[in-house]
Structure 1
Amino acid sequence: MGYLSLAVYVEKAIEKMILEALLCCFGFEYGCSLPLENVAKESKFQTMIEYLPGEIIQTIMFRLPVKCLIKCTSVCKSWKSIIKNTSFVRAHLSHNVNNRDGAHLLLLHSGCCGTSHPIKEEVYSLHYDNRVFEEYCKIDFHILRVALGMGEQNFRVVDICHWLVCLADNSIAKTSKYMLWNLSIRKALMLPSSGLTYITHGHFEESIGFGFDVVTSDYKVVRLVTVDGRETLAEVYSLVRDSWRSLGSVKPSCQIYGTQPSAFCNGAIHWVVKRWTNGAFYYFILTFDVGSELFREITMPESTKYPLLWESRVSVSGDGNSLALLSTYRRYTGNDYLVDLWVMKDYCVQESWTKMITLGPQRDIPKTLTFGKSGVAFLLVGDYFQKNRLVLLDMVSRRIRKIENVGYEYCNSIHCYEESRNLVLLGTDNTVSY
């Protein structure tokens, strides 16, 4: 063991010993639910803690798992006050934002279809990121639904960013309801009403993006709204401010079509959009820098400008640092589709677009693309009339196989997720626990 790794090991061991000693001195067990039996015990513990400098306690807490921190809020009032303080939550997030030592998982949104409703039973589950796709756990979304009073309303996953999940309502009535969800602390926040609605602007198409500003430690939700197939407007929600703000008309000018997925990469949110130019639609990637809140344009690979392009969708590469593009198109003859997978090796460098693989010809249309950590990619495939099926694509052998152990007939989305090191929403007002 090298000197540095030995020093880290010793440091962590000391921190655990300090915390364990503090707890055990007063009859608590490290990692337990930490019940307080009486006021006298809490008072004695409080007195003991006062002898420790606050910066030492905070340094130790920064390194503790989220589940342990949640249990620590039951130890004494001072610890609860420290952990639930907004400044501590943001500092804890900044301290752990580059820590990726949690288990790599996949969040699957699936369900069973009914005869009179698109989805009869909505299910969220976590799975291991491997070729077997074993289930890690199911999530009590039904309990959250009841707690929020959502009734039969269905949601879709917009994206997952730094352990926080963003959901949007999946209603064709465009009720524009959005939620931020922290699975590890079992809390959710319904966002306030936005300013762009059917009542204010009439018929529109919308697409949602979700990202994180590392400078301000702020989560942001971005709405793109194309009104009557003409102008596209934008607004942004800030978790720090807990409010929406209009960004006005999007420049460069563009239109969104359908519920386009977005991808957060290199500090920016990305969508595939289109613009009417010289008598035809020109497709490109629109980016939104979460920090500066500015839009810009990225050109798609030249060979994606097929006359019979069906659709293109953005994603993020397996290392999380590169932009990926899935383009589905048809030949001049026949009804089968071809699918090209591209990766931009150097961000914003047009010449760095690299075609990784071509699939087909095939009847199925890929709906989403998620890269795993083990050299595989997960695709949701199906045509317009079919229920989506989850398949695994081996990037080396280029073989596709259906994943059989999902357990549900309808798969709506799949996203990468890591065991959380995030306390966000813990001290936030108007959250719902479940």
Structure 2
Amino acid sequence: MTFHLKKMSEFPPRDVLIDILARLPIKCLVQCTTVCKSWYSLITSPIFITIHLNRSDVMNKDNKLFLVRRCSSDQNEEHYSLHYDNQMFDEYAKVRFPLKSYANYNFRIISSCNGVICLSYDQFFITNDLYLWNPSIQKLMALPPVRVRLQSRGSFMHNIGFGFDPLTNDYKVIRIVFSNPGEIPPEVDIFTLSTGTWRDIRHLCLPYIIEDRAPLAYVNGAAHWIASDRRGVLRGRLIVSFHIGDEVFREIMLPGSMAIDVSYPLSLRVAKFQESLCLIEMQLSGHFGNIGKYYCVWMMKEYGVATSWTKQFNIDMGKILESAVLTSNGFLVSSDPESKKLRDLEIYGSTYSWHKDQFYAYTESLVLLGLKPPVLRGKEIEADEKTKEERE
């Protein structure tokens, strides 16, 4: 095998080799990077990673994956696994989480894009550490320290977005910070993977308030949040989007009844469904002492056009609670909108307030493969922190 390595690297032609390698699974490609330097350079190149990702999306369109997170009862340990998006929600693979939680709180998953997950360690503002993690290849990147921190500004509200710019083949993280509290305009910084640095872009932000650590939806190349306009007498809600490519904030209007400001800001959230921007609206029903809740799912049929909002279906949470096994933990169920049948998938997670979002659509990829420091893995992060303390 060793004797023929040079010939293998020169034959077949490069375009044929790319076509062959792009059909291989992730684990096999990681092993192929050790064959020779030319294969390593090819497989870790941004062009090949994009080719492989696009081909995987086509080949695996009927085998979508979900990333499932479970937290231990003391909140100090996280367990991850990948599952098929089928009726039985079968397990595809277990995933080793390379970081350790401290002080009884866990990492917050911001978003997933092209197989990379953005993680934030920010629950009590003691730390504001951000990471990019690719579970498929077990690569973890620690982002540089953020500019606005508790130590420098005191308490604040903040939101984080993450996405991909296809024009530059680059990944970006945006951080929006509201001080004093909810002071507008907020301070805004953006991290670009290609440069490895943060930039101050506060001058671009719109004058709206986004609730602290509000859920986001990454759709159509933009991060979306529910926001509120608190200026003047007329107060209402809307969707604020930040487009990763051109780095511009935009507004999207909500259906008329939802635009009115209400007392429960978390009753409405954005989501992604069938590649479209969606709204999930929680509504209460029944009488005092027997109050149930159900969720209305709305879809924006034509992106950016407010008149295209269409109600898709309702999910009755009362029926879910009746059909599921009640435990001290949260549970995952599947709902069929057509048959209106519910099924307990027997997957249980934490009901801790910051960890209710336990399940994420996921795509395997090679993104971050071959990336140089500050890429770190598990214990290497701890060792790096100890080295930093010793230097100080």
- The two structures share one fold, judged by TM-score above 0.5: yes
For residue 361 of structure 2, what is the aligned residue in structure 1? 416
Q: Give the TM-score taking structure 1 as reference length.
A: 0.74
Q: Give yes or no for the alignment of 1:61 onto 2:3.
A: no
Shift of 1:47: 4.9
In structure 2, what residue type is equivalent to 1:431? V
CA distance in 1, matches of 2:40, 2:205: 46
| Matching residue's letter, 1:413 | Q
User: In 1, distance between residues paired with 2:258 and 2:303?
Assistant: 18
Task: Measure the CA separation in 2 of the matches of 1:64 and 1:48.
Answer: 17
One-letter amino acid matched to 2:311: K
Choose 260-269 or 162-171, whichever is displaced more. 162-171
Partner residue, 2:189: 235
Cα 1:66/1:192, change in 2 over 3 Å: same
- Counterpart residue type for residue 347 of structure 2: V
After superposition, the C-alpha distances for 1:311-367 in whole angstroms (9 at most, x for unaligned) are 2111111x22x10101124479745444321100110111110011234585999xx
Distance 2:206 2:8 in 1: 60
Larger radius of gyration: 1
Q: Out of 346, 368, 392, which is 2:334 matched to?
A: 392
Q: What is the distance in 1 between the residues matched to 2:317 and 2:11?
A: 71
From 140, 155, 169, give the equivalent of 1:217: 169
Structure 1 residue aligned with 2:347: 406
Counterpart residue number, 1:107: 67
SS in 2 for 1:98: helix
Distance 1:270 1:193, change over 3 A: same
Secondary structure of the residue aligned to 1:406 is strand
Aligned amino acid, residue 218 of structure 1: D
CA deviation string 1:381-434 (max 9, x = no partner): x9xxx753322221212344433x21555554211113x232424233221246
When residues 215 and 113 of structure 1 are mapped into structure 2, their CA distance, relative to the original with a 3 A threshold, is same
Q: What is the match of residue 145 of structure 1?
A: 99
Aligned-pair CA distance for 1:285: 0.5
Taking the aligned partners of 2:337 and 2:253, their CA distance within structure 1 comes to: 25
Alignment coverage as a number of residue pairs: 359
Q: 1:78 to 1:225 in 2, by over 3 A?
A: same
Cα drift, residue 238 of structure 1: 0.9
Q: 1:98 to 1:45 in 2, by over 3 A?
A: closer
Write the mapping of 1:338-357 to structure 2, written as runs, cut at 5 A. 338-357=294-313
Give 1:177's aligned residue.
Answer: 129
SS at the partner of 2:209? Answer: coil
After superposition, residues 51-200 of structure 1 pair within 5 angstroms as: 53-84=13-44, 88=45, 90-99=46-55, 100=57, 101-102=59-60, 103-114=63-74, 119-141=75-97, 144-145=98-99, 151=102, 154-200=106-152
Equivalent position of 2:383 in the other structure: none
Which residue does 2:219 correspond to in 1?
A: 265
Q: Distance in 1 between matches of 2:282 and 2:348?
A: 28
Q: CA RMSD in A?
A: 2.9
Are residues 1:284 and 2:238 paired?
A: yes
Give the direction of change, closer, same or farther, for the CA distance of 1:63–1:423 in structure 2 (3 Å limit). farther
Q: Give the 3 Å change call, closer, same or farther, for CA 412–69 of structure 1 in structure 2.
A: same
Distance change (3 Å), C-alpha of 1:247 and 1:326: same
SS at match of 2:271: strand
Hey, what's the Cα distance between the residues in 2 that align with 1:48 and 1:161?
34
CA shift digits 1:90-145 (9 cap, x unpaired): 1013324433123311111122323xxxx14321111121222222222111xx12
Aligned with 2:230: secondary structure? strand
* In structure 2, C-alpha distance between the alignment counterparts of 1:264 and 1:48, rounded to whole Å: 41
CA contact (8 A) 1:126 1:138 kept: yes
What SS does the corresponding residue of 1:300 show, helix, strand or coil?
coil
Given that residues 156 and 169 in structure 1 are in contact (C-alpha distance below 8 angstroms), is that contact kept between their aligned partners in structure 2? yes
Instruction: Judge conservation of contact 1:111–1:408 (CA < 8 Å) in 2.
Output: yes
Q: CA deviation at 1:183?
A: 1.4
Deviations along 1:55-75, whole A, 9 cap, x unmatched? 544454344333222111222
Report matched runs for 1:273-312 at 5 Å: 273-279=227-233, 281-305=235-259, 307=262, 309-310=264-265, 311-312=267-268
Please state whether the residue corresponding to 2:239 is helix, strand or coil. strand
Deviation at 1:255, TM superposition (A): 0.9
CA contact (8 A) 2:332 2:348 kept: no
The CA distance in 1 between the partners of 2:317 and 2:234, in whole Å, is: 26
Q: Say which is worse superposed, 239-248 or 279-288, in terms of deviation.
A: 279-288
Partners of 2:287 and 2:231 lie apart in 1 by 26
User: Which sections of structure 2, spanning at least 5 residues, go unmatched?
Assistant: 379-392
SS in 1 for 2:152: helix
**Aligned partners of 1:164, 1:361: CA distance in 2, in Å?**
31
CA distance in 2 between partners of 1:389 and 1:426 (Å): 37
The residue type paired with residue 182 of structure 2 is G
Identity of aligned residues (%): 30
Distance 1:409 1:50 in 2: 52
Unaligned runs of 5+ in 1: 1-25, 27-40, 366-381
SS of the residue corresponding to residue 201 of structure 2 reads strand
